[in-house]
Chains A and B, each alone.
Chain A
Amino acid sequence: MSTSPSRRILVGIGNAGVTVLDLLSVECPGMTGLLAVNNDPDSLNASIVRDKIEVPEGDPGEGFRVIDDEFGRNVEGASAVILCGGLGGETGSFLLPALAIRAKSAGLTTMACVGMPFSFEGKHKRDLAERALEKLQEICDAVVVIGNDQLSGGSPSIAAVGEAFVLSDRTLLAALLALTGMLSTSGPVKITRADIHHVLGKPGALTHFGFGKAEGSNRLHEALERALKSPLLTPPGKGSALKESSMILLLLRGAKDISFAEVQAVVGKIEQIAGDSCQIKVGVHADGPLGSALELYLLASSGGTVRKPAKTSESNETGEPSSADSANSPSSRIGTIGTQLPQPPQPTGEEEMLSGHIEGAKGADELFPVQTKPASKSGKKVAATSKQMQGTLALDTYQRGRFDKSEPTIVEGEDLDVPTFLRKGIKLNPPTRK
């Protein structure tokens, strides 16, 4: 980690947030600018994070007033604050938006990285989480939302409960690393804050996130494959969510020898999946020691402001795992309930789940007007950008032809499977068809 302590502060809030910061400290020892905030003294005492703020137990509103000043002192001088935690609990759901407002009002770039509760955690938690998320998306410059239900691939019944939470924490950690990496300005190729805001700043949007890590000569392909396998990028039974995104953030982090050709190859591959109209913003952090593993992070979003009203929603979104996004019209809401009925009971019991869905749908209805307003506007905007982009992207789309699927021949940092004339940018006369 090469980010200087004063530049950005990572704040872990609530049990989930503190756990993630602990994981982070283990993963990247020596990382500074971490702050743990919790109302559970046991959790705080056990944490290895150095800077801690203990929130008095009891009413979170009262608690926030107590820590307000201390938090303000801690984030002073920073240029960005990234808040991290799980939504749904009393602490996280209240403190995350409250601290976001506090940071934002201090003039800092404020981002959040949050986990949404599993459906088996009950409707109360979900409601709280959704309201908090709505607020967060209003306040923050960027919000990464990790849907725990989607994460477990829509089949939480198979995974052990403990494993599901570990996976959730790990994914939050990766998302946090992705955000910090993208914010950090140390790499030779940068992602700007405007790009992050463009992708993650849309209220009501679904976040698509994937990460992969690999080493060895085929590291790039393996890392990309792992990233694309993430259920948040490629929901089981559906195509890649990248197709629905207008902009994708790609961060590569690893050894100094990450080559131009490798970056080129990964961008080409993502372009293939996402389509030409999608913009890909690339950040490269090639500052690790030689031989260190290559980490690849992909962040994108869909829906939210881009979504069109009721008409298309039925075909597109009935199967969406998150209840907040299903059921935009009464008819599709009934459809959702109908399809859910015959399934085997979840841990919370059939009845509660059913009501959960109705409540969830209600929540969606409340959110709906907020989402539809900007929909048509930015929908047009996206179409316009995609048209603009096509011309420039054609230059980047290198062709490997028959070597597309074989191990690349990389010599002196160049992918030599790509025709020489293309790499040298030499123009040819196209053949004339008869």
Chain B
Amino acid sequence: MANEQIFVGLEIGTTKISVIVAEARAEDQISILGVGETPSRGVRKGEIVDMETVTECVREAILDAEDKTNVEIGNVWVAITGSHLASFNNRGSLTLRGERQIEPEDLEAVEVNAKEVAIPTPNTFLHTILQAYHVDGNQNIIDPLKSEGALLEADFHIVHGIKTRIHNTLRCIESLKIGIEDVVLSSLASAQVILSQDQKNYGALMIDIGGGTTDYLVYIDGAIRHSGVLALGGDHITNDISVGLRLPIARAELLKIEEGSASDPVSSEGGIISLKNDPRFLGCDVDRISLETIIHLRVKEIFELIRRDIESSGEGMMDLIRGVMITGGCSKLKGIAQVAEEVFDIPVELTRARNVSGATQIFEDPQYSTAIGLTKYARLVTKNIAPESMLDRFTQGLGSLFKKRSR
């Protein structure tokens, strides 16, 4: 670790690549020093499809960040997303010989036991996140160390994905001679700066709608209960507009940003939107209700898919969620909160990174939630681990750092 106090988060998104450089502050806080950014090329639906182009874009973004912050970037924390990622909950159990005190090795053993499930052969574990410990049937013990028992059980939320696709991201960064601290599920990173500890305890759903993917995460009783990735995002809305209104992609994107609204077209003001001609496009008049219908149907569908996925992953889980927090570049779309409220029937809030300090215009923009979240995650994870043991653990593979209860 070249500099313990500086954390760099790198998100290779479908729309843009962002690098956030942050400094550790007291009490788990971070302060953002600056952001490097380039428009992304060669990424589709959150996954790399053109290695060379992406590598070049990442290089530009890193240089940009170094320029702006005067920090030499050696190691980064990387966010990962894509529809290949899947998750499930599993319980590990360990019988202790005779009644004795629980040691740190037991905690590791019970995690290994929880991971002894069949995942598809091309897949690898990304995260094994602790939900709760149980000792001799005594539920939800926060720290079982040193307590006595005969049976130690632990619930984990396990995230896995296709090895080669995760490696693609890693290879792309390594080819720039930049070290990788760890790979983090995008939604897990975002949640660190989007959800407060109270929200995690009460039950919250975080949805990060980006350009190519929608990442979501459910916290109940302070632990992650569900996570998912939908390969749908702002790009799909733009594509729908382009197909439906027969506009070039670039013009459809502009129309979405300037005039787009996800609200139910029933309450639309109606009328005509006049698109001016430019060198590449002959102008035309677009029906506002048509535009809003296209966007509304897509956005509503995305939320409905998330709702159905949560409902099918655990009975009654939806009832334990008290609020929805929406972030990501696409959350800037007008009327999106109302649609979410309609679908989930609980309070919805549009949000951005919180509990961070530094350059305001950066953390006030919801499109940086994941990258900022990475630095916060890094702060939380490294806090409890001495640097030397971190090196040891680093050799164990992806996601192995995150052994502590996630916050």
Contact = CB atoms under 8 A, between A and B. Distances in A.
Nearest to B242: A401
Given A419-B298, A420-B298, A430 B246 contact: yes
A411 interface: yes
User: Which of A399, A412, A434 is the most central at the interface, judged by chain B CB atoms within 10 Å of its CB?
Assistant: A434
Interface in B236-258: 236, 239-240, 242-247, 249
A331 interface: no
Given A419-B294, A419-B298, A421-B297, A401 B239 contact: yes
A399 B294 CA distance: 14
A434 B297 contact: no
B287 A428 contact: yes
B277 interface: yes
Contact of A419 (B49, B244, B283, B287): B244
A409 B243 contact: no
Contact of A433 (B284, B290, B293, B297): B284
B231 interface: yes
Contacts of B230: 409, 411
Given A401-B243, A417-B236, A421-B244, A429 B289 contact: yes
Contacts of B145: none
B240 A429 contact: no
Contact of A432 (B44, B244, B284, B301): B284
A247 to B, nearest CB: 29
Given A429-B289, A429-B290, A430-B246, A411 B298 contact: no
B83 interface: yes
Contacts of A406: 44-45, 49
Given A409-B231, A429-B287, A419 B282 contact: no
Interface residues of B, number: 35
Contacts of B282: 433-434
Nearest to A399: B243
B232 interface: yes
Given A401-B243, A428-B244, A430-B246, A421 B293 contact: yes
A428 B277 CA distance: 22
B305 interface: yes
A161 interface: no
User: Which of B240, B284, B285 is the most central at the interface, judged by chain A CB atoms within 10 Å of its CB?
Assistant: B240
A434 B277 contact: yes
A238 interface: no
A433 B245 CA distance: 11
User: Which of B243, B284, B293 is the most central at the interface, judged by chain A CB atoms within 10 Å of its CB?
Assistant: B243
Interface residues of A, number: 25
A426 B298 CA distance: 12
B284 A434 contact: yes
Contacts of B287: 428-429, 431
A422 B243 contact: yes
Contact of A431 (B247, B277, B297): B247
A412 B307 CA distance: 13
B286 interface: yes
B182 to A, nearest CB: 27
Given A409-B83, A419-B243, A422-B243, A428 B290 contact: yes
Given A421-B294, A430-B246, A431-B284, A402 B301 contact: no
A260 interface: no
A402 B284 contact: no
B235 interface: yes
Interface in B269-314: 275, 277, 282-287, 289-290, 293-294, 297-298, 301, 305, 308
16 contacts: A401-B243, A402-B242, A407-B45, A412-B305, A419-B236, A419-B240, A419-B244, A420-B240, A420-B297, A420-B298, A422-B243, A426-B297, A429-B290, A431-B275, A433-B284, A434-B277
Interface of B: 44-45, 49, 83, 230-232, 235-236, 239-240, 242-247, 249, 275, 277, 282-287, 289-290, 293-294, 297-298, 301, 305, 308
Given A431-B275, A431-B285, A431-B287, 14 more contacts: A401-B240, A401-B242, A407-B45, A411-B230, A417-B239, A419-B240, A419-B298, A420-B294, A428-B245, A428-B290, A428-B293, A429-B289, A432-B285, A434-B282
